[in-house]
Structure 1
Amino acid sequence: MKILKRILLLLAIALMIVVFLNYPKLNILSGYSAKNTSSSVFLAHRTLAFTDSTDNNFSPVNLATDKINKEGKYATSSALGLLTRKAVYREGLGSVLITDDFDLSVKPLVPTRSKPDNVTAYPYGNGEQQDTLFANVDYGKLKTAVEALFKPKYKTRAVLVIYKDQIIAEAYGDEFDENSLILGWSMTKSIMSTVYGIMQYQGKINVQDKAPIAEWQNDERKEITIHNLLQMNSGLEWDENYNEISDVTKMLFLEKDMTIMQRNKPLTGKINASWNYSSGTSNLLSGILRQEMSSHQEYLDYWYRELVDKIGMNSMVIETDMAGNYVGSSYAWGTARDWGKFGLLYLHRGNWNGTQVFAPEWTDYVVQPTPTSNGTYGAQFWLNANGKFPDIPKNMYFADGYQGQRVYILPDQEMVIVRFGLNGNYSENAFLKGIINAVK
């Protein structure tokens, strides 16, 4: 009997050690699941069953048990029954992962939104576009190229092809259509960068100026410019590893204010010569935008008034953190058609149906290759300048998000291509080549 008790005691101690060592991982795991569940159910209007069987159905996130409260509009996720996290939905702000001390009784500020134009034809409104057949488009080839991406293994949710401002191909996976909100993940970085372009065009900011960070003024970080941050070439320390407890996972699933972590990092590389992809930098940039605005309300309104709603991306919602900052690294939701409008804004070099939203030169700026990025990165956009996709023009560039969310901009072809899914392991070169070759 004594031996059995000792064995049980040892097992209990071993279990406690395992839980202690893995507690941070369980915290992040359940945090991811709670946040994703809340946004999927309350913002994108999917069911809990669908969300669990698709978006949260991968290891180790599928170890969490998710529940929703429809009346309270929140989701909870429990990791192995040992740790529970909660994410709440707030109209106008999307969902936010909260801590136990978050005061839900405080009414948050929300962005002012404009009414959608549901009469004017797409893309300059949300109305039906006129049927247009282009003689130089081989629609059979186009259909084949699009359908190739809907093989089950790719888990594609949406593909949209816009040519000369007209949708020439549009397809959706099961449970999705032209009204479905889809998370862009890191494509949000390109949205945030564009806000800087608008601010610069309006004379409110100069991206070549030194970053206005008070904590940096007494050390060598004071030489970092906004330009360096936009190109992710500041030399600041950052670990962007989603498979471990890292800077990025701690920021997204543990931090109340996501603008702070990168700001507090030391300089470990050379300014303008140490490209390092960093979601923390994108959120730091979001924080700089907030401090440059006259008020928190102006910060919330500006992104929508001057960009999102201005070009009719009326479905889009950019979620905030607990401190009220837009999560510029990761959390913009919108329909494939609205993401297509964003691509068209760049295809037309900032001109939206006669209105100049940002300077034409901003387009040249965002595709300027970042030093030491080997021609793969610009100012919060990804590039093909080094010919990574050999059959695609080198001046093609794109917004890029986790699991293969893409808005490809092809100036030579007068084309924007949008793709959403849960698996990014498809041949982008073959996919894009097939679509390009369908237009003579």
Structure 2
Amino acid sequence: MKIFKRILVLLILLIGIIVYLNYPKLNMISGYASKYMASSVLVGERSAASVISNDLDMPLVKLATTEFNTQEAEATANVYGLMNRKAIDRQGLGTVLVNDDYQQDEIYLQPNRNNTPIAQPYPFGHLAPKDTLFSDVDYNKLQKAIAVAFGNNETQKTRTLLVLYKGHLLVEKYADGFSKDTPILGWSMTKSLLATCFGILEYKGKLETKWLAPVAEWKNDERKEITLNHLLRMQSGLEWNEDYATISDATKMLFLDSDMTLAQRDKKAVAKPTKIWNYSSGTTNLLSGILRQQFRTQQEYLDFPYTSFIDKIGAHSMLLEADLKGNYVGSSYGWASTRDWARIGQLYLNNGSWNGEQLFSAEWVNYITTPTQFSDGKYGAHFWLNSNGFYPDVPRDLYSMNGFQGQYVFVIPSKDLVVVRTGLAENPVFDVNRFLSSLIATIP
């Protein structure tokens, strides 16, 4: 009997230790689940049941009990009744996690949008795409390439696919439950949208990437040498841990912080600028805060991404979510339909020109596609590259917007191609090289 009691005590102690060590993680799990649920239903126009059975069926996250309240337009989640989190909707700004800083009666601004349809065929407008047959496209091979993207889809989990060729819609395909109008969370593809704002401001003569970062807290220490260029290239030398499987700088920022522009700002320097390359979502949100400083008012800041390029190119489904303090979460929370993500790719393929208007310079495209030191040729300035042949059977001039779980906008100038793929599995589970090489084989 004594042995049994001792075993029981040890078991209780062991359970207590496990709970103690993992308790903080529950906050991240329920935060992720409630935020993702709220945005997927209210922004992504999905059903709660579909989100639970598909999107939230992933390690650790599936431990959460997640619910969506239609009447209150909010989502809640907890893990075995612990760490209850709630995400609510703010019109025009997406959804946000509630914390102690949340004021229910606070009045907040929202961006002004111009959703006037553009009377041109897609992708340059909102009319039906031109029914175009290309003599240089092998359509039999094209269908095989599409089959590669959607093959074994219980594993690859491709949801949407779209290809633009020479500025025309070549093909698009959608999994059940998704359509050309379904907004898709781009995750880190949003970083490229945030960077585009800097390209536009530079083109307008409002700033230069060589400028020192306007961060007052850095003026009297070694961080004072950090420039906008260093931040855009993720080579600031600042400490940052980008790990989504643990309690890290990234997860604490996304699921705990009211003001996400501060997480990277307050980190110490671990190297001089340019001496290391370290991918950091905190850096992008710091840049979002710096972007906000370029305007006299909060309203101008909120309007700028839409008035300067998003609505101008007709990407009316696109929405940038903001944190509790009204900063765009440029690291992670951009939504758009597959067609509208493709418009962004086409804008870059056109070197910043859209329907006769230059939105940013061709030099900006050269800038973002120039490899960053110590990135092994994989990264430019908030865009991913293939300059080192990471995808060995794909042209080296490919560059892309990449997001968690396999969200991609590929731009391949030498083939006049823009390719969008979204889903729940990324490379190598979704074999990017195999798919793109099979697609490129359709065009001599």
TM-score in same-fold range (> 0.5): yes
- Map 1:264-413 to 2 at 5 A: 264-413=266-415
Q: Is 1:234 equivalent to 2:236 in the alignment? A: yes
Amino acid at match of 1:244: T
Percent of pairs identical after alignment?
50
Aligned to 2:222: 220
Asked if the contact 1:43–1:89 (Cα under 8 Å) also holds between the matched residues in 2, the reply is: no
How far apart are residue 101 of structure 1 and its match?
4.2
Q: Is 1:116 equivalent to 2:116 in the alignment? A: yes
Asked if the contact 2:406–2:424 (Cα under 8 Å) also holds between the matched residues in 1, the reply is: yes
Amino acid at match of 1:428: V
Asked if the contact 2:115–2:314 (Cα under 8 Å) also holds between the matched residues in 1, the reply is: no
Provide, for residues 40-90 of structure 1, a one-character-per-residue CA deviation record: whole Å limited to 9, x for no partner. Answer: 111111111100011100111000001111121100001121111001112
Q: Is 1:125 equivalent to 2:129 in the alignment? A: no
Aligned to 1:191: 193
Provide, for residues 114-166 of structure 1, a one-character-per-residue CA deviation record: whole Å limited to 9, x for no partner. Answer: 02316421111122012111111111111110121112211000110000111
How far apart are residue 181 of structure 1 and its match?
0.6
Q: How many Å separate the matches in 1 of 2:193 and 2:201?
A: 13
Q: How many Å separate the matches in 2 of 1:128 and 1:44?
A: 23
- Map 1:28-177 to 2 at 5 A: 28-117=28-117, 119-151=119-151, 152=153, 153-177=155-179
Of the candidates 427, 432, 436, which is equivalent to residue 440 of structure 2? 436
Of the candidates 427, 431, 436, which is equivalent to residue 427 of structure 1? 431
How far apart are residue 20 of structure 1 and its match?
2.6
Amino acid at match of 2:103: D
Provide, for residues 100-123 of structure 1, a one-character-per-residue CA deviation record: whole Å limited to 9, x for no partner. Answer: 441121121100000231642111
How far apart are residue 26 of structure 1 and its match?
0.3
How far apart are residue 17 of structure 1 and its match?
3.8
SS of equivalent to 2:76: strand
Asked if the contact 2:142–2:439 (Cα under 8 Å) also holds between the matched residues in 1, the reply is: yes
Amino acid at match of 1:110: Q
Q: How many Å separate the matches in 1 of 2:117 and 2:305?
A: 18
Provide, for residues 239-291 of structure 1, a one-character-per-residue CA deviation record: whole Å limited to 9, x for no partner. Answer: 01111111111111111111101000111022112100000001000010011
Amino acid at match of 2:388: N
How far apart are residue 186 of structure 1 and its match?
0.3
Q: How many Å separate the matches in 1 of 2:118 and 2:317?
A: 12
How far apart are residue 9 of structure 1 and its match?
6.6
Q: How many Å separate the matches in 2 of 1:95 and 1:7?
A: 47
Provide, for residues 280-327 of structure 1, a one-character-per-residue CA deviation record: whole Å limited to 9, x for no partner. Answer: 001000010011211111110001110111111100011011111000
Q: How many Å separate the matches in 2 of 1:11 and 1:84?
A: 26
Amino acid at match of 1:129: P
Q: How many Å separate the matches in 2 of 1:46 and 1:377?
A: 33
SS of equivalent to 1:54: helix
Provide, for residues 161-186 of structure 1, a one-character-per-residue CA deviation record: whole Å limited to 9, x for no partner. Answer: 00011111100111001011100000
Asked if the contact 1:31–1:86 (Cα under 8 Å) also holds between the matched residues in 2, the reply is: yes
Aligned to 2:420: 418
Amino acid at match of 2:312: K
How far apart are residue 328 of structure 1 and its match?
0.5
Amino acid at match of 2:82: L
Q: How many Å separate the matches in 2 of 1:239 and 1:329?
A: 14
How far apart are residue 355 of structure 1 and its match?
0.3
Aligned to 1:259: 261
Distance 1:82 1:10, change over 3 A: farther
Asked if the contact 1:35–1:97 (Cα under 8 Å) also holds between the matched residues in 2, the reply is: yes
Q: How many Å separate the matches in 2 of 1:13 and 1:394?
A: 56
RMSD between aligned alpha carbons?
A: 1.6
Provide, for residues 322-371 of structure 1, a one-character-per-residue CA deviation record: whole Å limited to 9, x for no partner. Answer: 11100000000000100000000110100001100001110000001101
Q: How many Å separate the matches in 1 of 2:146 and 2:3?
A: 66
SS of equivalent to 2:260: coil
TM-score by length of 2: 0.96
Asked if the contact 1:89–1:95 (Cα under 8 Å) also holds between the matched residues in 2, the reply is: yes
How far apart are residue 3 of structure 1 and its match?
9.0
Asked if the contact 2:158–2:422 (Cα under 8 Å) also holds between the matched residues in 1, the reply is: yes
Distance 1:4 1:108, change over 3 A: farther
Q: How many Å separate the matches in 2 of 1:305 and 1:101?
A: 30
Q: How many Å separate the matches in 2 of 1:94 and 1:272?
A: 35
Q: How many Å separate the matches in 2 of 1:353 and 1:259?
A: 34
Amino acid at match of 2:285: N
Asked if the contact 2:88–2:96 (Cα under 8 Å) also holds between the matched residues in 1, the reply is: yes
Q: How many Å separate the matches in 1 of 2:382 and 2:371?
A: 11
Q: How many Å separate the matches in 1 of 2:339 and 2:141?
A: 22
Q: How many Å separate the matches in 2 of 1:6 and 1:72?
A: 49
Asked if the contact 2:118–2:314 (Cα under 8 Å) also holds between the matched residues in 1, the reply is: no
SS of equivalent to 1:188: helix
How far apart are residue 19 of structure 1 and its match?
2.6
Q: How many Å separate the matches in 2 of 1:317 and 1:164?
A: 27
Q: How many Å separate the matches in 1 of 2:334 and 2:403?
A: 10
SS of equivalent to 2:55: coil
Q: How many Å separate the matches in 1 of 2:84 and 2:10?
A: 26
